[in-house]
Amino acid sequence: MKKVSSKKITDVKVAPRVSVSLKLDTTVLQGAGATVLEALRSIEKPVKITTKSVLTVTDGTKTHSRPLTIPRAQRLFYPAAQIYIAKDLALFLK
């Protein structure tokens, strides 16, 4: 006779722990997620990027800021490039 376990499976929601902000002159775009990639993908894409910007990534108490030129800021919103940018930023937060 098999023994039936009575484990309860609960849906666990992970609170966003990584926040990303992109400062474009006077506009600040923010996103949050469980990982750097999710936080990058949650930022709303601006209509047009015409100035240099500052990208700030925060993971708990660790913070990393990086100035971006116009082409690099535009690449933040390319889905294929987001993977590589997220890996690079995650290295600074370790």
If DSSP states are collapsed to H, E and C, what string results for the chain? CCCCCCCCCCCCCCCCCEEEEEEECCEEEEEEECCHHHHHHCCCCCCCCCCCEEEEEEECCEEEEEEECHHHHHHCCCHHHHHHHHHHHHHHCC
pTM of the model: 0.79
The mean pLDDT value for 75-80 works out to 93
Q: Is residue 4 part of a domain?
A: no
pLDDT of residue 16: 64
Q: Is residue 33 part of a domain?
A: yes
Q: What is the pairing mode between strands 53-59 and 27-33?
A: unpaired
Q: Is residue 7 part of a domain?
A: no
Q: Is residue 6 part of a domain?
A: no
The pair of structure tokens assigned to 21 is 């902000």
Q: Is residue 3 part of a domain?
A: no
Q: Domain span at residue 67? A: 18-92
Q: Is residue 76 part of a domain?
A: yes
Q: Is residue 10 part of a domain?
A: no
Question: For 52-66, how does the pLDDT look when each residue is reduced to its tens digit (9 = 90+)?
Answer: 999 999 998 899 999
